[in-house]
């Protein structure tokens, strides 16, 4: 990605519906250049244009971080692939340290969260889980691309 690609992505992070014309004016390039570059970024999987909702406003009332301890360790990848397919999962990563997988979920309510945790606890390889409920989310955003230029 070059500086123009970063600038396009930055514009789309501010407003995913920003028109090519507005971006072209802001970035001082042609509309065709913006269109071509944006389509390439979409085609190569660098960006996805999605409608991002405020989870609380649409009915997700229970957010949680779940630490998953995997035994034997050889099942981490297989387990991560299985967990990644679950619709409640908003973030999933393999970690170093005390636990093996970090899972963030959004659920309708605490009963839904309990069902989710019980469900993954039954998966082969899940030795233990530790759930931390988020009472209030203050920020939920994509990273600022400007951080890469420092």
Question: Which tens digit of pLDDT belongs to each residue from 89-137?
Answer: 999 999 999 999 999 999 999 999 999 999 999 999 999 999 999 998 8
Domain assignment present for residue 33? The answer is yes
**CATH code, domain with 36:** 1.10.10
Number of domains comprising the chain: 2
Question: Do 75 and 128 sit in the same domain of this protein?
Answer: yes
Domain assignment present for residue 31? The answer is yes
- Write the DSSP string, the chain: --HHHHHHHHHHHH-TT--HHHHHHHHTS-HHHHHHHHHHHHHTTS--------HHHHT--EEEEEEEEESSGGGHHHHHHHHHTSTTEEEEEE-SSS-SEEEEEEESSHHHHHHHHHHHHTSTTEEEEEEEEES--S---PPPGGGGG-
What are the tens digits of pLDDT across the range 34-70?
999 999 999 999 999 988 888 888 999 999 999 999 9
Q: 0.85 exceeded by the pTM?
A: no
Question: Do 122 and 85 sit in the same domain of this protein?
Answer: yes
Measured in whole angstroms, how far is the alpha carbon of residue 124 from the centre of its chain?
25
Cα–Cα distance list, 64 to 2, 7, 48, 104, 129 (Å): 37, 33, 25, 6, 12
Domain assignment present for residue 27? The answer is yes
- Residue listed under structure tokens 């190569």: 44
Question: Do 70 and 39 sit in the same domain of this protein?
Answer: no
> Which domain covers residue 17, as residue numbers?
3-43
> What is the Cα gyration radius of the chain?
19
Domain assignment present for residue 99? The answer is yes
pLDDT band at 150 (very low <50, low <70, confident <90, very high): low
Going by the DSSP 8-state scheme, the letter that residue 144 receives in this structure is: P
Whole-angstrom Cα distance, residue 14 to residue 136?
23
Measured in whole angstroms, how far is the alpha carbon of residue 33 from the centre of its chain?
28
H/E stretch holding 45: none
Question: Do 127 and 66 sit in the same domain of this protein?
Answer: yes
């Amino acid at each position: 990605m070059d500086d123009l690609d970063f600038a396009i992505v930055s514009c789309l992070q501010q407003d995913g519906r920003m028109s090519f014309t507005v971006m072209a004016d802001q970035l001082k390039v042609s509309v065709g250049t913006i269109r071509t570059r944006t389509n390439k970024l979409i085609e190569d999987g660098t960006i996805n244009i999605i409608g991002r909702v405020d989870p609380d406003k649409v009915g997700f009332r229970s957010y949680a971080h779940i630490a998953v301890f995997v035994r034997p360790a050889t099942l981490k990848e297989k387990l991560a692939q299985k967990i990644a397919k679950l619709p409640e999962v908003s973030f999933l990563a393999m970690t170093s340290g005390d636990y093996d997988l970090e899972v963030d979920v959004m659920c309708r309510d605490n009963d839904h969260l309990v069902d989710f945790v019980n469900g993954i606890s039954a998966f082969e390889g899940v030795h233990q889980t530790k759930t931390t409920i988020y009472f209030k989310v203050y920020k939920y955003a994509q990273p600022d691309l400007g951080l890469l230029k420092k």
